[in-house]
């Protein structure tokens, strides 16, 4: 069959299942396999989605195993543990790096082509390690990074300025975590730089309000978890937009996480920067001129991630 597309999703929890459901709604691929340590769960999720396909279109959706990772356009890793109360970021990193190492070993036994998209957290740490373990070319392994953070950023700005979110453009870069930062210098509404809005007294945007927006971006995921137990709808949509860029070879700019080599004074760490994404993964980092303050904050974010990598280097 010409133009046949196939995706594997590893992990059939909230994020994996929501991603698969969103993909079925969008009729994104011809074939989709769900893989989970609990195979019955993946089979059940696939059945549930399949039973609605008569209203959507023809797809093959099934629960499978690692041998089904062959001939995939993308292999999406969503499996991992959630952070528990009292658990440190390092504790979580150690657990999920150990899980990811086993997953990648199994995936690469059957890997023939395609990209590996990392969703599990800590996404930057896992992206870096999986890039190493897989041995795939640069850009072929990348993570969802701050794609969702950037979406939250745009949403909050659209609400503050009462404009259509599709006309708000801006990026959160660095770590998908506490050290992330906004690229105010590259943020605009319909071509008008955000600083013009900040300097307009009619909008009354103070430094406190700007900082509150960034705090909301950082903490909204945690707030959703406190209210409903987990976040999965928005990240599922974000994953779908990334997959569309891959499958249609769109060269879309997204703030995905990939291993950085000598950019902005940063080397040998995975973090998020505006990147051109196509069928082969990350084609290139989009060159933006950062302000001195943005470069300083980005360097700090890289240092935070390198500190975590140092503490788990023996895994």
Residue ranges of alpha helices (H) inside the chain are: 14-26, 39-50, 89-110, 123-134, 147-161, 194-198, 207-228, 233-247, 292-311
Name the active-site residue from 51, 176, 188, 261. 176
Q: Which two three-digit tokens encode residue 123?
A: 């996404």
Sign of CA dihedral 285, 256, 313, 109: negative
The answer to whether residue 51 is catalytic is no
| Residue of 32, 76, 78 lying closest to 53 (CA atoms) | 32
The Cβ of residue 146 has, within 10 Å, a number of other Cβ atoms equal to 32
Three-class DSSP category at 205: coil
- Contacts with 308 (C-beta within 8 Å, 6 or more apart), sequence order: 89, 90, 93, 122, 125
Length, in residues, of the chain: 315
Query: How far apart are the C-alpha atoms of 158 and 86, rounded to whole Å?
Result: 35
Query: How far apart are the C-alpha atoms of 242 and 182, rounded to whole Å?
Result: 20
Query: How far apart are the C-alpha atoms of 138 and 260, rounded to whole Å?
Result: 9
Query: How far apart are the C-alpha atoms of 157 and 164, rounded to whole Å?
Result: 10
Q: DSSP characters for 144-171? A: -TTHHHHHHHHHHHHHHHTS-GGGEE--
Gap between the terminal Cα atoms of the chain: 42
- Rg value, the chain, Cα: 19
Q: Which residues are known catalytic residues?
A: 176
């Amino acid at each position: 069959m010409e133009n046949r597309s196939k995706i594997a999703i590893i992990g059939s929890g909230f994020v994996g299942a929501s991603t698969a459901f969103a993909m079925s709604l969008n009729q994104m691929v011809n074939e989709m396999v769900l893989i989970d340590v609990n195979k019955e769960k993946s089979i059940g999720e696939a059945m549930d989605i399949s039973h609605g396909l008569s209203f959507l279109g023809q797809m093959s959706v099934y629960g499978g195993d690692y041998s089904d990772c062959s001939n995939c356009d993308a292999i999406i890793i969503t499996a991992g543990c959630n952070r528990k109360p009292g658990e440190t970021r390092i504790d979580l990193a150690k657990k999920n790096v150990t899980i990811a190492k086993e997953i990648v070993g199994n995936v690469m036994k059957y890997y023939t082509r395609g990209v590996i998209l990392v969703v599990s957290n800590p996404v930057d740490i896992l992206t870096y390690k999986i890039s190493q373990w897989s041995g795939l070319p640069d850009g072929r392994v990348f993570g969802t990074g701050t794609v969702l953070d950037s979406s939250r950023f745009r949403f909050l700005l659209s609400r503050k300025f009462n404009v259509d979110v599709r006309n708000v453009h801006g990026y959160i870069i660095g770590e998908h975590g506490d050290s992330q930062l906004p690229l105010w210098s590259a943020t605009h509404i319909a071509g008008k730089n955000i600083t013009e809005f900040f300097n307009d007294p009619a909008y009354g945007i103070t430094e406190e309000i700007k900082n509150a927006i960034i705090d909301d971006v950082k903490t909204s995921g945690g707030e959703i978890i406190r209210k409903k137990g987990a976040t999965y709808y928005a990240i599922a949509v974000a994953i779908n937009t990334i997959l569309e860029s891959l499958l249609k070879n769109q060269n879309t700019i997204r703030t995905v996480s990939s291993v950085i080599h000598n950019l902005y004074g940063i080397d040998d760490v995975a973090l998020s920067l505006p990147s051109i994404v196509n069928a082969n993964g990350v084609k290139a980092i989009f060159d933006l001129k950062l302000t001195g303050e943005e470069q300083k904050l980005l360097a700090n974010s890289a240092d935070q991630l390198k500190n975590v990598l140092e503490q788990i280097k023996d895994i």
